[in-house]
Structure 1
Amino acid sequence: MEKNKLQLEYIFDRVSTRSLWRYLSTPDGLSEWFAYNVRLEDNGDFYFQWDKNSGEKASVLEQREGERIRFQWHREQDQNACFEFVIHHSELTGGKSLEVIDYIAPEEVADMEHFWNNLISRLRLSLGAPE
C-alpha cells in the first residue's frame, strides 16, 4: 500500500529539551500522552498498549539523544513506513519545535492530522506547556 509522508510541526518554546525528550523517548513519558501504557521489552522494542485488551510493538530504527527518535510498527512491512519525532531549535529566535513525521495512506490525511493534533494537546497538558 502506498504511503504519504505527513509532516506536522508544533511550537514548544517554554519546555526544556530534556523534558520534551523524556516524553518522546521513554515508556513512562509516552504513557503520559501517547498510549494507555508503554513498556520497553527485553529486546529493546516498545510495546504500546492502547487499552486493556489491545496493543502493538514498535522497534526504534534511529535515535539521537535529545534530537530525534524514529519508530516502526511491527505490522508494517515497508522500512519507510514509520513515525518520527524530531526536536528543532531555532538559532535565530531561541525557540523550539517538535516535528511529527508519519507515513499514512492518502485517504487518512485529515483523520491523522486531527489524531496528531489531539495527541500533541495531551502532550502539552502532560508537560504543563501552553497551547
Structure 2
Amino acid sequence: MSTKIKYEMEFPIQASPSLLYQYISTPSGLSEWYADNVNSRGEIFTFIWEGSEEQAKLVSKKSGERIKLRWLEDEEEGDPYFFELRIQVDEITKDVSLMITDFAEDEDEVNEGKMLWENMISDLKHVLGSV
C-alpha cells in the first residue's frame, strides 16, 4: 500500500448550493467541467478524457452537500484514498465555497493536482456563470 499526501483546497463560488450540487454529483453536471464525458452505472462513475478512461466508485454522498469517490485502482489495491467535493455555506454571510479533498503521490504531484483543480474549478465557474 502506498502512502499519499492529503491536500485540501477551498474555492469561493457564486452559485446556490443546490445548483452547485447538480454539477458535482451527476454525470451530466460533471461532464460540463470535470471530464469530457461522464457515465455512471450504479455506484461506478466512468470519466473520459481525450481517449483515456478512469473509473471511480461512489463511496458516499449527502444530498445537496457532498460527494466522495474512490478511483477503482485505489479500491483494488485496498488503498483508503478518495477525492471529495463538499459544498460549504458560511452561516453568517451565506457565501458558498466548494471544498476539495484529494491525495497525491508526492509534493510535485500535490502542486500539479492543485493546478489541475484550479483549472477545472475555473471551467466550473464559467459553466455556472459565476466568473
Same fold (TM over 0.5): yes
Equivalent position of 1:5 in the other structure: 6
Normalised to the residue count of structure 1, the TM-score between the two structures is: 0.92
Q: What letter corresponds to residue 49 of structure 2 in structure 1?
A: W
Give the fraction of aligned pairs with identical amino acids, expressed as a percent. 36
Give the secondary structure class of the aligned counterpart of 1:109.
Answer: helix
**Aligned mates of 1:110, 1:54 — CA distance in 2:** 22
Unpaired runs of at least 5, structure 2: none
Give the secondary structure class of the aligned counterpart of 1:6.
Answer: strand
User: Is contact 1:72-1:79 (8 Å) kept?
Assistant: no
How many residue pairs end up in the alignment?
Answer: 127
**Does structure 1 residue 104 correspond to structure 2 residue 112?**
no
**Aligned mates of 1:8, 1:115 — CA distance in 2:** 12
Equivalent position of 2:86 in the other structure: 86
User: Is contact 1:3-1:105 (8 Å) kept?
Assistant: yes
User: Is contact 2:103-2:110 (8 Å) kept?
Assistant: no
Unpaired runs of at least 5, structure 1: none
2:60 to 59, 62, 67: 62
Q: How does 1:36-47 map to 2 (within 5 A)?
A: 36-41=36-41, 43-47=42-46
Give the secondary structure class of the aligned counterpart of 1:32.
Answer: coil
CA RMSD between the two structures: 1.1
**Aligned mates of 1:113, 1:63 — CA distance in 2:** 23
